Structure formats: C-alpha cells, structure tokens
Amino acid sequence: MDIAYTVLGLVVGLLVGMTGVGGGSLLTPALTLSGINPAVAVGTDLVFAAISKGVGTVVHRAQSSVDWRIAGLLAAGSCPAAAITIGVLAATGLHAKSGVINAALAAALILTAAVLLADRAHIAAIAAGYESLIAPRRIALTVAAGVLLGAMVTLSSIGAGALGAAFLVALYPRLATTRIAGTDIAHAVPLTVVAGLGHLWLGNVNGALLASLLVGSVPGIVLGSLASGRLPDNAVRRLLALVLLAVGARVALT
C-alpha cells in the first residue's frame, strides 16, 4: 500500500463526488508523470473509476439526483464505442506505444480544460435558443455524444466527467446542476466497466496501485457527493481548468 497514491485517491474522490469531474483528468496524468507506464495508468484509472463512481452513484441515487433515462441513452452509445476501441487497440498494439497514449492524454486534458472554463449558464442559454432544432433529435444526439465519450475515455480515461457534463448541459439545458453531476457519474459506471475490463484483458491494470487509490477514494467520493452543489461551482471549475491546462502542457512535452 502506497500512502501517496492513497492521498491522491482521496483528493480525486472528493472532486468526482462534488462535481462529477476530475477523475481521469487528474489521476491519469498524475500517475503518468510519477513514472507509471501511460497504458497502465489509463487502464488502472478506468477500473478505479468504475468502482469509485459506482459508490458515487449510490449516494446520488439516494439523493434522487440521477436521470436514469439520459444515463441509459449515453451508455447506449458509449459502451459499444468503448468495446470497439478496445478491439482496435488489441489489433494494432497502439496501447503499448507511450507516445500515442500521451498524445491522447494531452489532447483530452486541454479539451477538458476548455470545457471547464466555459460558463455552464452561457452554454445552457445558447442551447435553449436552439431548442426547436435539438428537441426532435435529442435522443440521437445523446447517443452520439455517448459514442464520442466512449472512444475518448477508452483511449485516455479522460472525458466522462467534464465533457459528459458539457454534453448534458447543451442537450438538457433545464437539468439541475446536481442532476447533471449525478447523471454524469451514473453514466460513467457502465462506460468505465467496459473500458476497464478491456484494458484488464490487454494487461494494463496494476492491482496494487488500484488498491492504494481505492482506500482513499471511497471515503472521498462519499463526502464529495454529500457536498455536491454546496460549493461555488464556477470557482472549483476554473481552478481545475488551470491545473489541467498546466498538466496537459506538461504531458505534451514528455
């Protein structure tokens, strides 16, 4: 058991519980920059996310902050996309090439930071103006958003939080903040299960590292979920965005 990774798991758990954001966005690059093989960092984080976000989903369910229909639509696109991406990685061996994983990580981090810097109220207001166009296509667009998330999360373990929440805000602008976080976390569970099992099959999961992370993350995500909606969301998001931009630049240069 490594206490440093346990503390890292605690911090990540708190962020995921409070905002639905911050899991892979912080954990995977932190593991990579600490010397963990990028593919192992991605695979271990995905299994970690499946377990920790499962705990968060239980808490959000108790608070009735999950829209199961929307989560199911996202999963209808993301889970098959994750399975296909794993198949491509297995066939090509790209997961064994650190440069490819690092490039995917850097791109996902910078995109996530950009999404975090965008004001959710502004996104919702813009989306509301196009409601007549979105409404008849909402189901198809939600499934398509799931496909994009499935591929990105499987390659980098990043995107299920911030990008998933951004899609929810754009497609469902009237959805309450707590339900966005709860639905986002609930959708991430089946996605990370499929992607995590795929990476386990590829040999990209470190069991000892996973255990150290979980010891800290489980209490962290419970506390964070209980505090969801009680902290200044914009301040948390902007601070996290600045951190991700710095980390993304660092990963891109490695």
Cα separation of 7 and 174, whole Å? Answer: 36
Structure tokens that stand for 66 in this block: 């999950």
Are the beta carbons of 86 and 202 closer than 8 angstroms? yes
Report yes or no: 49 and 160 within 8 Å, Cβ to Cβ.
yes
List the single range of 96-110, 181-195, 198-212 with lowest mean pLDDT: 96-110
* pLDDT tier, 30 (very low <50, low <70, confident <90, very high otherwise): confident
Tell which wins on pLDDT, 194 or 108. Answer: 194
Under the banding of pLDDT at 50, 70 and 90, the label for residue 228 is: low
Please name the amino acid found at residue 161.
Answer: G
Q: Is the pLDDT of residue 225 over 90?
A: no
Residue with tokens 């990540």: 12
pLDDT for 141 equals 96
pLDDT of residue 60: 64
pLDDT band at 17 (very low <50, low <70, confident <90, very high): low
* DSSP labels, 70-128: HHHHHHHHHHHHHHHHHHHHHHH-GGG-HHHHHHHHHHHHHHHHHHHHS-HHHHHHHHH
Please report which confidence band the pLDDT of residue 25 belongs to, taking 50, 70 and 90 as the band edges. Answer: confident
What pLDDT is recorded for position 233? 64
Rounded to an integer, the average pLDDT of 193-210 is 93
User: Which of 12-26, 123-137, 152-166 bottoms out in mean pLDDT, i.e. has the lowest?
Assistant: 12-26
Amino acid at 129: G
Mean predicted lDDT score pLDDT of the chain: 83
Per-residue pLDDT tens over the stretch 54-88: 766 776 666 777 899 999 999 999 999 999 999 99
How many whole angstroms separate alpha carbon 251 and alpha carbon 112?
Answer: 14
Say if residue 123 is exposed, middle or buried (CB neighbours under 10 Å; 0-12, 13-18, 19+): middle
Residue of 101 and 193 predicted with greater confidence? 193
Q: Please write the tens of the pLDDT for every residue from 144-177.
A: 999 999 999 999 888 877 788 889 999 998 888 7
Q: What pLDDT does residue 195 have?
A: 95
pLDDT value, residue 1: 60
Domain boundaries, the chain: 3-253
Tell me the average pLDDT across 9-27.
Answer: 72
Whether 205 shows a pLDDT value over 80: the answer reads yes
**What's the pLDDT at 231?**
63
